[in-house]
Amino acid sequence: MPIDNRRFAGIDVGGTKCLGVVWQDGRIIREVRRDTPQGADDMISTLVEIVRELGDVHSVGVGVPGLVTREGVLRAAPNLVGVSDLAVGPQLREVLQCDVAVDNDATCAAVAEWSVGAARGVDDVVVVTLGTGIGGGLVSGGRLVRGTNGFAGEIGHMVVESSGPQCVCGQRGCWERYASGNGLGYLGRLAAEQGAAKRVQELAGSAEQIRGEHIRQAALEGDNEALVIVDSFARWVALGLTNLTNLLDPAMIVIGGGLASSGNVFLEPMRRWFEELLYSPQLRPHPQLVMATFAEQAGAVGAALLPKFAHISDT
């Protein structure tokens, strides 16, 4: 492959922050951060500002949280205030006059892990981003799975408990109601109701205020009740991972997002439950379960690489 020292800009639009990076020669050489604005007009002008601050670039990629069409139109974005049906790609192309690619933020994270991260060179990969919710990016047979509309990989909304709690998508018992950061908080509040989360509750101030971070902290301290909650959380995560394995037969599952940075506290029980719940575990090679290479920069790095990999994904 010829040496490519072009500068690629990537922006990850989060619910509260936007992160812009310049990717060159296989690494991040510049970062720009902004608060995520409210409303469509401010969103576009903020993205343009970030690109201008990143300097001279060959192309621009943007990862946004929500359903993104193949033309780069953001259809639904429950975590962005005042933004829906926004033609992010077409509008940026008109202003910036360069190559612009737009995709779902978790798809971008998958592109990063698959092309330059933990799953480099692996043809069948599931990248699961455990954050506030759950995002997914799927690579099958060496190609990014986009679906008819570009909406594939909404794995957080696989229903795992049909009588479970209500989800933002309108269904009940979606995977992300149990196996995300929010899901961990929910499991903690359930445990507190049974009087089985004393240290966690102390850290949170009250049972109602329990969030994933309190359980994580108590678990890292070695609190037994917190470790029981983490174990039940790990089982929910593994349940979804085995469903995905039955669907796609991946060689590797990459776990990213905020929870991935907690290391073995989550990974060890997740692995144990995964082995236990896997279909015919003794009769098959097991997919490798690994932590992501990129932490919070995965979305921005993958966004930067989107235009470069367009020939792979646009099929």
Residue from 44, 60, 86, 167 binding Zn ion (CB under 5 A): 167
d(CA 129, CA 67): 16
- Give the shortest CB-187-to-Zn ion separation in angstroms: 17
Say whether residue 169 binds Zn ion (CB under 5 A). yes
Asked if 47 contacts 57 with a C-beta cutoff of 8 angstroms, the reply is: no
Say whether residue 228 binds Zn ion (CB under 5 A). no
Question: Residue 216 corresponds to which tokens in the numbers above?
Answer: 């994580």
Identify the DSSP state of 35. E
Interface region with Zn ion, contact rule CB under 5 A, candidates 95-103, 157-165, 188-196, 199-207: 157-165
Say whether residue 174 binds Zn ion (CB under 5 A). yes
Say whether residue 303 binds Zn ion (CB under 5 A). no
d(CA 200, CA 263): 19
Q: Considering beta carbons, is residue 70 or 157 the nearer one to Zn ion?
A: 157
- Give the shortest CB-193-to-Zn ion separation in angstroms: 23
- Give the shortest CB-177-to-Zn ion separation in angstroms: 7
Q: Considering beta carbons, is residue 157 or 211 the nearer one to Zn ion?
A: 157
d(CA 172, CA 141): 32
Q: Considering beta carbons, is residue 51 or 241 the nearer one to Zn ion?
A: 241
- Give the shortest CB-107-to-Zn ion separation in angstroms: 18
* Distance set, CA 55 to CA 30, 36, 44, 108 (Å): 9, 20, 17, 21
Burial of residue 124, with CB atoms counted within 10 A of its CB: 0-12 exposed, 13-18 middle, 19 or more buried: middle
Which residue matches tokens 């049974």? 194
d(CA 303, CA 251): 24
Say whether residue 237 binds Zn ion (CB under 5 A). no
Question: Residue 184 corresponds to which tokens in the numbers above?
Answer: 């961990």
Say whether residue 157 binds Zn ion (CB under 5 A). yes
Q: Considering beta carbons, is residue 183 or 212 the nearer one to Zn ion?
A: 183
Q: Considering beta carbons, is residue 92 or 158 the nearer one to Zn ion?
A: 158
Q: What is the CA radius of gyration of the chain?
A: 20
Interface region with Zn ion, contact rule CB under 5 A, candidates 126-134, 171-179, 206-214, 257-265: 171-179
Provide the binding-site residues for Zn ion, judged by CB under 5 A.
157, 167, 169, 171, 174
